[in-house]
Amino acid sequence: MKVAVVGATGLVGGEMLKVLAERQFPVTELIPVASEKSVGQEIEFLGKKYKVVSMDDAIAARPAVAIFSAGGSTSKEHAPRFAAVGTVVIDNSSAWRMDPTKKLVVPEINAKDLTSEDKIIANPNCSTIQMVVALNKLHDTYKVQRIVVSTYQSVTGTGKKAVDQLMEERAGQTASNPAYPHRIDLNVLPHIDVFEENGYTKEEMKMVKETKKILGDDNIRVTATTVRIPVMGGHSESVNVEFEREFELEDVVRILRETEGVEVVDDVKNNVYPMPKDAHGKDAVLVGRLRRDETQPRTLNMWVVADNLRKGAATNAVQIAEKMQAMGLLG
């Protein structure tokens, strides 16, 4: 199967190549794509070297699937061109997520809704993915009414420029090309993406809108505060969720243990709970600190951690491709 990775030289693109190899996706020909300045560069995949090609050359090769991680404007311009030649596009940007004609897919939840008509499929925001994976089966059982979420997000979510800023600051240097308006080392920024007119950031509003679309329930009320912290390895989230139906904590733990893609890490007596360093390199969503909210009925507190470059981006995209292949939807 011909597989194009658009944005192959970036942080997420590199992770996509790693995940394709690890999960033994049946790549017979890899087509790495990047910006014009990277064309001709070589990347290695499964012991072979491949030259980065231009967008036009990749489209001419008519791959079965193209996994995009190259920014919204690139996706808007070029994803329809791939789709026009029959390629299935799985896009990691925000370009298509809220388009009512495009599916927003987390494979454990709604891959079953995909059809042969779906040529451009949106990969959700990293912070949304891990939260809905954790909540999906609980929503089926108890029906989520309201979510209050605060995120603690890794600098890797911004990209290499942000990682460089953190490392330079940690080494006692002034960042040469800062990604953020303030220092990030020994600091916390309650600011991810741009601020909108309502005072929320775009990242916060992504979580609000995407959660409803993925879970298929516009009645779920979501409010979010998204925060950048000086860590690498994964995003963490404090999730307070109010259900319509009463729950027993032991049943919640059982349901989570049975939820595809979730690993329960919750033994506070032994100081065991999810942390980014333990999520790094894993595909599972780690869930712990499970406890009742004692201030109001039918409400649960949980702590959710996942590697944002893997389940939050690359792994979710590859899993979509896997599901489509299993369903006979890839050429």
Indicate the annotated binding residues for NADP(+). Answer: 9-12, 37-38, 178, 308
Residue 139: active-site member: no
| Residue 71 exposed, middle or buried by CB count within 10 Å (0-12, 13-18, 19+) | middle
Q: Which residues are annotated as a binding site for substrate?
A: 153, 228
**What is the torsion angle, in degrees rounded to the nearest 10, for the CA atoms of residue 209, residue 215, residue 220 and residue 223?**
-40
Q: Are 257 and 134 in contact (CB under 8 A)?
A: no
Q: Point out the annotated binding site for phosphate.
A: 97
Q: What is the rounded CA–CA span in Å between residue 292 and residue 260?
A: 23
How far apart are alpha carbons 326 and 52 in whole angstroms? 28
298 class by beta-carbon count within 10 Å (0-12 exposed, 13-18 middle, 19+ buried): middle
Catalytic residue among 78, 126, 139, 280: 126
Distance CA 325, CA 69 (A): 20
In whole angstroms, what is the distance from residue 302 CA to residue 279 CA?
16
Q: Are 287 and 303 in contact (CB under 8 A)?
A: yes
Q: What H or E segment, with its residue span, contains residue 160?
A: helix 160-170
DSSP category for residue 124: P
Which strands make up the sheet holding 299-306, listed edge to edge?
221-228, 144-153, 235-243, 299-306, 285-292, 262-264
Q: Is the CB of residue 193 less than 8 Å from the CB of residue 203?
A: yes
How many residues does this entry show for the chain?
Answer: 331
Task: Point out the catalytic residue in the list 78, 139, 235, 280.
Answer: 235
Q: Is 235 a catalytic residue?
A: yes
Q: How far is CA 313 from CA 106, 155, 187, 325, in A?
A: 10, 14, 25, 19
Catalytic residues: 126, 235
